Amino acid sequence: MGRKDKPGSCFDATVGASSCCKVESLISVDELGQMVLPKEIRNKANIRPGEKLALVSWEKDGKTCCISMIKVEAFGNMVKGLLEPMMKEVMASETAK
């Protein structure tokens, strides 16, 4: 079930984490819990007003240690890419019965 990611993308297993992930900016949370994603980051990621982002979190020892935002379209494609091969295997095993 290997993933077929574009070479050089952040999801390419052959690319080291140091070449993909970096601190882009420090942001603050206001008293209402709101944050502003800097314009430079929005422009680089081509994030437009009204666009949806999926917030993904990782937990360690019961505490959230990392959060990431992914465009909903890209997230949907990632999930489809992961689940599609598994569903094909399930369907193949069901038809073989």
| Digit-coded pLDDT (tens) for 64-80 | 988 889 999 888 888 88
- List the domain range (segments joined by +) for residue 83: 17-96
Whether 1 is in a domain gets the answer no
Whether 56 is in a domain gets the answer yes
Q: What is the pLDDT of residue 89?
A: 86
Whether 69 is in a domain gets the answer yes
Whether 8 is in a domain gets the answer no
Whether 3 is in a domain gets the answer no
Whether 42 is in a domain gets the answer yes
List the beta strands (DSSP E) in 17-76: 53-60, 63-71
For the domain that residue 33 is a member of, what is the CATH number? 2.10.260.10
What does the pLDDT average to over 53-67? 91
**How many independent structural domains does the chain possess?**
1
- Ramachandran angles phi, psi of 72, nearest 5°: -55, -40
pTM for this prediction = 0.58
Does residue 14 contact residue 33 with C-beta atoms inside 8 Å?
Answer: no
